[in-house]
Amino acid sequence: MVGVFASREPRLRWAFPTTKLVVGGVVAAALGSLLLGFWSLLGQVVDLAPVFVLPVRAWILTAVVAMLASGVALTAGGFLWWALMTPAQRVRFFARRSLYAHRFGNPLGLKEGERLPRIRAARNKQGVIWLEVLAVAVTVEQLAAVQSALSSGLRGRLSGYAVTEVDSDVAARGVRFRVEDVTIDRAITGSSGLRVWVVLACR
């Protein structure tokens, strides 16, 4: 379940899962570093109470190793996931952030507690991504009007992508957005067409 709209929510709620992994890794590594400093500090007083301090230091050292290892694993996993994420997955998460997060302008005009629309994305063999948004608390007309918000919300590797077509399905209460790389020139110029004609004529 996606959830409901909230004007006040954690900043990372609609962040990429890769971002959440990296943040979690950094936090774990920071806590491990703090514990390492405390472990070193206890080493200065081990002679005063060795029976008490030594077991505590051993436990802290175990926790330090676990936290640092977790931090490295989470951070590396986040970057690896980001590198392997497909364009369709990226489009879906960018769309979630653009439509769900209040700080991005609330283009659907959602009210507090309203159910959020469901979002799906798939890429066909031609490299075109179809983003499907199913209406729940909003109308199909409201969904169709967020074309510019979805296009402007694409960042990073998808900065050259944009919504080029909107297909409204009133019966299914949903809207499909065609998302593709608009920086690719798909037009056939006259000179290239002339060269093709010459090659074919000479055969």
The conformation of residue 177, written as its DSSP 8-state character, comes to E
pTM: 0.77
pLDDT at position 1, please?
53
pLDDT digits (tens, 9 = 90+) for 98-139: 999 888 888 988 888 889 989 999 998 888 899 999 877 788
The one-letter amino acid at 141:
E
Asked if residues 176 and 132 have their Cβ atoms less than 8 Å apart, the reply is: yes
pLDDT digits (tens, 9 = 90+) for 57-77: 889 899 999 999 999 999 999
pLDDT at 194 over 60: no
pLDDT digits (tens, 9 = 90+) for 159-190: 888 999 888 876 667 899 999 988 876 554 44
User: How many separate helices (H) and strands (E) can be counted in the chain?
Assistant: 6, 4
Instruction: For residue 176, give every residue at least 6 positions away whose Cβ sits within 8 Å of its Cβ, in sequence order, or none.
Output: 130, 131, 132, 133, 166, 167, 169
3-class DSSP assignment, residue 135: coil
Share of the chain above pLDDT 90, in %: 38
In terms of phi and psi (left: phi > 0; alpha: psi -120 to 50; beta: otherwise), the region of 51 is alpha
pLDDT at 26 over 90: yes
Radius of gyration of the chain (CA): 26
- Rounded to whole angstroms, the Cα distance separating 24 from 12 reads 11
CATH tag, 87-181: 3.30.980
- Domain residues of the chain, as ranges? 17-84, 87-181
pLDDT at position 70, please?
95
